[in-house]
């Protein structure tokens, strides 16, 4: 028993992000490379999204903005993290990305500096998010969901067992106490995302 406890302690010390109880211990960089503490959003319902500007899912920006406008008065905040790891579909500087999003989709929710969400240089925030909510599966009832599932399964038949982020516009839902309560893959219906947001806002 002692060996098991010591092993668990070693894991937690090696990966401190996994030992956190909520997202409030993490800090991120905004577009000006200034540190933003997530505890500043304490008491809010958060929807944390890795995004890209040249992706088939990029039009989801419009739906995210609509969701934000509808529920921000009730406490919703969408946190946008551009990421260039998937097909290099988030090229350009933060300024270029921000200008694209505001100009084409009128986004007003917080947008942060580009990050990695997988791999050696991944954001500690994303290490934590993935540990809390693993991959939920693509919606194979949709053409794009079926395509993505087949594409990933060709490379790794067990890809769905890995909690890593699979593509742009993966969404994590965080409650008012900073707990990660759900994850929505990019193929998830935005109506389901909205239902999850509404449920937390009522709590």
Specify if 115 maps to a domain. yes
Section 122-133 average pLDDT? 98
C-alpha to C-alpha distance for 36 and 54, rounded to whole angstroms: 26
Task: Report if pTM > 0.85.
Answer: yes
- Is residue 86 in some structural domain? yes
Q: Select from 2, 75, 52, 65 the least CA-distant residue to 167.
A: 52
pLDDT band at 102; cut points 50, 70, 90: very high
HEC string of the chain equals CHHHHHHHHHHHHHCHHHHCCCHHHCEEEECCCCEEEHHHHCCCEEEEEEECCCCCCCCHHHHHHHHHHHHHHHCEEEEEEECCCCCCCCCCCHHHHHHHHHHHHCCCCCEECCCECCCCCECHHHHHHHHHCCCCCCCCCCHHHHHHHHHHHHHCCCHHHCCCCCCCCCEEEECCCCCEEEEECCCCCHHHHHHHHHHHHHC
Flag whether 7 is in a domain: no
Question: Residue 127 is part of which domain span?
Answer: 21-202
Is 101 assigned a catalytic role?
Answer: no
**35-81 pLDDT tens trace:** 999 999 999 999 999 999 999 999 999 999 999 999 999 999 999 99
Domain count, the chain: 1
Share of the chain above pLDDT 70, in %: 90
Q: Is residue 15 part of a domain?
A: no
48 within 8 A of 129, measured Cβ to Cβ: yes
Q: Is residue 36 part of a domain?
A: yes
Residue 65 is assigned to a structural domain of this protein: yes
Both tokens assigned to 180: 């990660």
Flag whether 12 is in a domain.
Answer: no
Residue closest to 50 by CA, chosen among 164, 191, 176: 164
Question: Which neighbouring-strand residues pair with 180?
Answer: 174
What is the overall mean pLDDT for the chain?
92
What CATH number corresponds to the domain at position 178?
3.40.30.10
pLDDT for the residue 122:
98
* 75, part of any domain: yes
132-158 average pLDDT score: 96
CB proximity list for 140: less than 8 A, separation 6 or greater:
146, 149
């Amino acid at each position: 028993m002692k060996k098991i406890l010591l092993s668990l302690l070693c894991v937690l010390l090696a990966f401190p992000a996994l030992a956190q109880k909520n997202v409030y211990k993490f800090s991120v960089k905004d577009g000006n490379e200034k540190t933003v503490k997530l505890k500043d959003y304490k008491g809010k319902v958060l929807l944390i999204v890795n995004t890209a500007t040249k992706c088939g899912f990029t039009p989801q920006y419009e739906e995210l903005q609509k969701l934000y406008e509808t529920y921000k008065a009730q406490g919703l905040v969408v946190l946008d993290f551009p990421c260039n790891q998937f097909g290099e579909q988030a090229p350009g500087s933060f300024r270029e990305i921000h200008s694209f999003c505001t100009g084409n989709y009128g986004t007003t929710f917080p947008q942060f500096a580009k990050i990695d969400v997988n791999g050696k240089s991944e954001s500690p925030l994303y290490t934590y998010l993935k540990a809390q909510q693993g991959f939920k599966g693509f919606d194979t009832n949709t053409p794009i969901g079926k395509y993505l599932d087949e594409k990933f399964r060709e490379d790794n038949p067990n890809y769905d067992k890995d909690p890593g982020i699979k593509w742009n516009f993966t969404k994590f839902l965080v409650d008012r106490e900073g707990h990660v309560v759900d994850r929505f893959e990019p193929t998830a219906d935005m109506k389901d995302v909205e239902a999850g947001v509404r449920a937390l806002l009522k709590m």
